[in-house]
């Protein structure tokens, strides 16, 4: 399994190099590798250092965060179609950022990331309260419906607010369509501490989550503190998805697809599923970003648009397969 993880990391490295090469102005491999280590301010160096390297690094970080958050959420809810976007976490974080921008005039990541955490936490709690009322056999579907409803309500409220504030609208409309094309690495630098904390916490939760997969009673008998594990898992999800949304805007379906793709290799063992989901999430985001640059003859599509185009049919497929199995 270690070898397969190294292979996945190698694939991520290849995709990362491709992200430096592909765009409106192609750069060949030799020139890209040269300017990476020697910024001579040539045209190729400006393209690589000022445009493509920041978005590649941020894309990797956001993909890691969303892939891990999706795997943790699917394990926590025991719902294979759970995802931070589908269950309203991203919408809550986005609404929190809007409140920070409009209500408090906050314009920097270091300020509005805390509002993103608060919004994500409140929306998650609301979705969980709504989705867990009723028979346990229908809980997974109810959680998805509750997440969709809460997310739609938050988006509607956000749109109502920004239309009343032209200045907020100008800033929000570029942020709300999730993208990793940032002008420099400053956002990534501010995002990195939250990512590291979330990744470390998530990886430490692998063994207890394995035990909880057997059921709360058996997990408790194996020495797992059920309540503490769930709380820590929720904190990790909020750290990862909240910070990723604050940094790049809402990007849906990565947290849904990455764990499923990783599970084809690792099975259900969380100790391996979590790191594989992180790597696969980064690959998915970078591939979506690369495709978005070349799919149109002029201009480009943002990452969130590409993930939605591919992720929506994937979600429908998962729901239909789940219903067929049931």
Closest among 81, 142, 11, 59 to 314, alpha carbons compared: 81
**CA distance linking residue 283 with residue 276, whole number of Å:** 11
Whether 325 shows a pLDDT value over 50: the answer reads no
**Better-predicted residue by pLDDT, 273 or 172:** 273
| pLDDT tens-digit map of 26-43 | 888 888 878 887 777 778
CB atoms within 10 A of CB 223: 8
Percent of the chain with pLDDT over 90: 29
Sign of the CA dihedral 13, 15, 19, 24? positive
Q: Which two tokens stand for residue 242?
A: 């909240």
Q: Which fold has domain 2-309?
A: ABC transporter involved in vitamin B12 uptake, BtuC (1.10.3470)
Confidence of residue 135 (pLDDT cuts 50, 70, 90): low
Q: Which two tokens stand for residue 173?
A: 């409309």
State pTM to two decimals.
0.88
| pLDDT tens-digit map of 73-118 | 888 878 777 788 777 888 888 888 888 888 787 777 788 889 988 9
Confidence of residue 324 (pLDDT cuts 50, 70, 90): very low
Q: Would you state the torsion angle of the CA atoms of residues 135, 141, 146, 148, taken in this order, to the nearest 10 degrees?
A: -170
| DSSP conformation class of 267 | T
CB atoms within 10 A of CB 40: 9
Whether 17 shows a pLDDT value over 50: the answer reads yes
Query: What is the domain partition of the chain in residue ranges?
Result: 2-309
């Amino acid at each position: 399994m270690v070898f397969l993880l190294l292979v996945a990391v190698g694939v991520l490295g290849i995709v990362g190099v491709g992200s430096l090469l592909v765009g409106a102005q192609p750069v060949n491999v030799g020139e890209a590798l040269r300017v990476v280590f020697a910024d001579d301010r040539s045209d190729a160096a400006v393209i690589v250092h000022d445009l493509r390297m920041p978005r590649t690094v941020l894309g990797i970080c956001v993909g890691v965060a969303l892939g891990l958050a999706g795997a943790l959420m699917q394990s926590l809810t025991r719902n294979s179609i759970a995802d931070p976007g589908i269950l309203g976490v991203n919408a809550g974080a986005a609404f929190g950022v809007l409140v920070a921008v409009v209500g408090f005039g906050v314009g920097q990541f270091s300020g509005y990331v805390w509002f993103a955490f608060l919004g994500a936490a409140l929306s998650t709690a609301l979705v969980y309260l709504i989705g867990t009322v009723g028979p346990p056999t229908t809980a997974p579907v109810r959680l998805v419906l509750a997440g969709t409803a809460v997310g739609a309500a938050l988006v509607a409220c956000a749109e109502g607010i920004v239309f009343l504030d032209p200045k907020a609208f100008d800033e929000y409309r570029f942020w709300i369509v999730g993208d990793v094309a940032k002008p420099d690495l400053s956002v990534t630098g501010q995002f990195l501490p939250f990512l590291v904390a979330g990744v470390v916490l998530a990886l430490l939760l692998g063994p207890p989550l394995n035990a909880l997969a057997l059921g709360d009673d058996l997990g408790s008998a194996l020495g797992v503190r059920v309540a503490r594990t769930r709380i820590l898992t929720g904190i990790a999800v909020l750290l990862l998805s909240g910070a990723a949304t604050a940094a790049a805007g809402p990007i849906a379906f990565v947290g849904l697809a990455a764990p499923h793709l990783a599970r084809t290799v690792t099975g259900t063992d969380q100790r391996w599923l979590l790191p594989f989901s992180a790597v696969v999430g980064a690959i998915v985001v970078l591939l979506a970003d690369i495709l978005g640059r070349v799919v149109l003859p002029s201009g480009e599509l943002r990452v969130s648009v590409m993930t939605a185009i591919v992720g929506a049919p994937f979600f429908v497929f998962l729901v239909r397969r789940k219903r067929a199995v049931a």
